[in-house]
Amino acid sequence: MERVLLVLHTEPDGALGKAALESISVARALALEVAAGEWAIGIVGARAIEAGHSVGNCGATRWLAVSGREFGQSRYATDVLAVEAIWRAVNPTLVLAPGTSRWRRAIPGAAFRMGAAIDTHASEVKVLDGQVVLRRWYYRQRIEAIQSRTHRPWCILTEPGTVEPFVASGASVTVESLEVSAPPEVLRTTVEGIQAPPADEQTIRPDAELLFVAGAGWTKKQADGKVHVEEAAQLILEFLRLTKCSLGSSKSLVDMASEGQAVLPFLTHLHQVGQTGSTPRHPKGLATCCHGEEPHVVGWRFIRERRAINLDPNCGWAQGKADVLYVADAFEVMRELNRLLKEKEEATG
Ligand SMILES: Cc1cc2nc3c(=O)[nH]c(=O)nc-3n(C[C@H](O)[C@H](O)[C@H](O)COP(=O)(O)OP(=O)(O)OC[C@H]3O[C@@H](n4cnc5c(N)ncnc54)[C@H](O)[C@@H]3O)c2cc1C
């Protein structure tokens, strides 16, 4: 029988994040199959014990916490100490952890210290033919592999956004508080703050319901023989503000900046979706002024409902790549859509 440990960290507000709740779903299901439902949960954070109570209904059979101000922030040296302490207390064979940016830095270090094997980006962890296996993607999400290891301990970082988060409700649980002293040399790095664009300037929103993709057509000559880049920018930004969707782009559009052509200034290569871009995971996607060529559409692999607006009834989206293709002028459609959304916004205050 395996001994399963899930290690989590709190977010800056002291709560457990969505990725942590998702990994609780994974740990619960796995423990049922390989450990008769027994599993330990270890939480690191400034107020880790409170965070434990907040997911008190998760069914873990052992609770551990490393708390204190020095464990509140993301810092490799203190995070590794905390995870190692929890790990030694539980002596697990399988360690699960959410693949957040904080844990992606610290957990491999802890795994190395514990002589563990580690795999990352697992999109599924389950039992197959009596063996624990993980599923993950390679080569820009084109090859999917199912892997297993005989080495124990085995540590697996689960990919955020691949399972439903556990629906937590608070319950009082007995949490073992581990004393971990942080000597001065591990506190040399201090996090002074986080530099991030203001929320309304942040246009890549992985948790959004909708992905809005802008293609190069927005910057091309339109029916009147002129380009309308400023109106395009205004329509797109207004739609983003009204829907809080995430923004993606085709390669052609983001490449234009380096080619000295008319561009949408808020787009960067980070927005690029596709073979040489990202493969986001949103329930719905809307492509506008984008042709829907294969190298772009492979980035839509995980978008469940796909719609596109294109003037060309023979564009790539019409070749079975979209659920719905609106053969229409995206300027007109977005103008009308924004008007309706604004009306709705005003009506609901
Ligand atoms: C090795 C390789 C890797 C690549 N990787 C990627 C990648 O990761 N991501 C990616 O996106 N591409 C990638 N590409 C490029 C890809 O093949 C296409 O060239 C690119 O996606 C085209 O971008 P687009 O559809 O925005 O532009 P275009 O092909 O120029 O299409 C513009 C579209 O806008 C439409 N349009 C114009 N005006 C309007 C309007 N008013 N209303 C509605 N529709 C309108 C036109 O009908 C046209 O279909 C790659 C190519 C190669 C060779």
| Residue 28 Cβ contacting ligand 1 at under 6 Å | no
Q: Where in the chain does DSSP place strands (E)?
A: 4-9, 39-45, 62-67, 94-98, 117-122, 124-128, 131-138, 143-147, 154-158, 176-177, 210-214, 246-249, 284-288, 305-310, 324-327
Atom of ligand 1 nearest to the CA of 249: 11
26 in the same domain as 62: yes
The predicted-structure confidence for 6-40, as pLDDT tens digits, reads as follows 999 999 999 999 999 999 999 999 999 999 999 99
Q: From atom 53 of ligand 1, which residue's Cα is the shortest distance away?
A: 295
111 in the same domain as 252: no
Distances, alpha carbon 176 to alpha carbons 61, 89, 151, 207, in Å: 12, 10, 28, 33
334 in the same domain as 230: yes
180 in the same domain as 228: no
The predicted-structure confidence for 317-330, as pLDDT tens digits, reads as follows 999 999 999 999 99
- Residue 202 within a domain: no
pLDDT of 260 higher than 70: no
| Residue 275 Cβ contacting ligand 1 at under 6 Å | yes
| Residue 272 Cβ contacting ligand 1 at under 6 Å | yes
pLDDT at 265: 86
Rounded (10°) angle between helices 229-243 and 330-348:
40
pLDDT at 262: 62
pLDDT of 196 higher than 90: no
Residue with tokens 């002028």: 329
What is the C-alpha to C-alpha distance for residues 93 and 124, in angstroms, rounded to an integer?
A: 18
What is the C-alpha to C-alpha distance for residues 250 and 173, in angstroms, rounded to an integer?
A: 49
229 in the same domain as 110: no
- Residue 153 within a domain: yes
| Residue 267 Cβ contacting ligand 1 at under 6 Å | no
Q: Please count the structural domains in the chain.
A: 2
pLDDT of 257 higher than 80: no
250 in the same domain as 163: no
| Residue 229 Cβ contacting ligand 1 at under 6 Å | no
- Residue range(s) defining the domain that contains residue 94: 4-187
| Residue 148 Cβ contacting ligand 1 at under 6 Å | no
- Residue 205 within a domain: no
The mean pLDDT value for 261-288 works out to 91
Distances, alpha carbon 250 to alpha carbons 20, 219, 253, 333, in Å: 32, 12, 6, 19
Contact partners, residue 78, CB within 8 Å, separation at least 6: 70, 71, 182, 186, 187
| Residue 329 Cβ contacting ligand 1 at under 6 Å | yes
The predicted-structure confidence for 329-342, as pLDDT tens digits, reads as follows 999 999 999 999 99
331 in the same domain as 223: yes
Q: How would residue 207 be classed by pLDDT, with cut points 50, 70 and 90? A: confident
Measured in Å, residue 272 CA sits from the centre of ligand 1 at 11
pLDDT of 102 higher than 70: yes
Q: What share of the chain is helix, strand, coil (3-state, %, to 5)?
A: 35, 25, 40
Q: How would residue 200 be classed by pLDDT, with cut points 50, 70 and 90? A: low
Q: How would residue 261 be classed by pLDDT, with cut points 50, 70 and 90? A: low
Q: Ligand 1 pocket: which of 218, 228, 252, 333 to mutate (most atoms <8 Å of CB)?
A: 252
What is the C-alpha to C-alpha distance for residues 248 and 303, in angstroms, rounded to an integer?
A: 12
Q: How would residue 194 be classed by pLDDT, with cut points 50, 70 and 90? A: confident
- Residue 193 within a domain: no
Of 172, 187, 202, the position where a domain reaches its end is 187
Burial 263-295 (b: 16+ CB within 10 A, else e): bbebbeeebbbbbebbbbbbebbbbbbbbbbee
Atom of ligand 1 nearest to the CA of 214: 26
| Residue 58 Cβ contacting ligand 1 at under 6 Å | no
| Residue 300 Cβ contacting ligand 1 at under 6 Å | no
Of 131, 153, 187, the position where a domain reaches its end is 187
Q: What angle do CA 329, 282, 286 make, to 5 degrees?
A: 5
| Residue 197 Cβ contacting ligand 1 at under 6 Å | no
- Residue 200 within a domain: no
Distances, alpha carbon 232 to alpha carbons 200, 214, 239, 242, in Å: 18, 9, 11, 15
Q: From atom 4 of ligand 1, which residue's Cα is the shortest distance away?
A: 295
Atom of ligand 1 nearest to the CA of 292: 25
Phi, psi torsion values for 306, nearest 5 degrees:
-115, 130
pLDDT at 22: 98
160 in the same domain as 28: yes
Of 187, 218, 246, the position where a domain reaches its end is 187
Q: How would residue 204 be classed by pLDDT, with cut points 50, 70 and 90? A: very high
- Residue 247 within a domain: yes
Q: How would residue 148 be classed by pLDDT, with cut points 50, 70 and 90? A: very high
Domain at 338, CATH number: 3.40.50.1220
| Closest by CA position to 211, among listed 313, 279, 263 | 279
124 in the same domain as 268: no
| Residue 75 Cβ contacting ligand 1 at under 6 Å | no
pLDDT at 201: 75
| Residue 78 Cβ contacting ligand 1 at under 6 Å | no
Give the lowest-confidence range in 138-152, 185-199, 268-282. Answer: 185-199
Q: Report the relative pairing of strands 246-249 and 210-214 from DSSP bridges.
A: parallel
Atom of ligand 1 nearest to the CA of 276: 8
179 in the same domain as 93: yes
The predicted-structure confidence for 288-312, as pLDDT tens digits, reads as follows 999 999 999 999 999 999 999 999 9
pLDDT of 139 higher than 80: no
The predicted-structure confidence for 25-84, as pLDDT tens digits, reads as follows 999 999 999 999 999 999 999 999 999 999 999 999 999 999 999 999 999 999 999 999
Length of the chain: 349
220 in the same domain as 161: no
The mean pLDDT value for 167-180 works out to 96
Which structure tokens are listed for 43? 């939480």
- Residue 199 within a domain: no
Domain at 88, CATH number: 3.40.50.620
pLDDT of 199 higher than 70: no
- Residue 238 within a domain: yes
Q: Ligand 1 pocket: which of 222, 228, 272, 310 to mutate (most atoms <8 Å of CB)?
A: 310
What is the C-alpha to C-alpha distance for residues 253 and 246, in angstroms, rounded to an integer?
A: 16
Atom of ligand 1 nearest to the CA of 272: 9
170 in the same domain as 121: yes
The mean pLDDT value for 212-238 works out to 96
Q: From atom 31 of ligand 1, which residue's Cα is the shortest distance away?
A: 291
Which structure tokens are listed for 130? 């009596």
Average pLDDT, the chain: 94
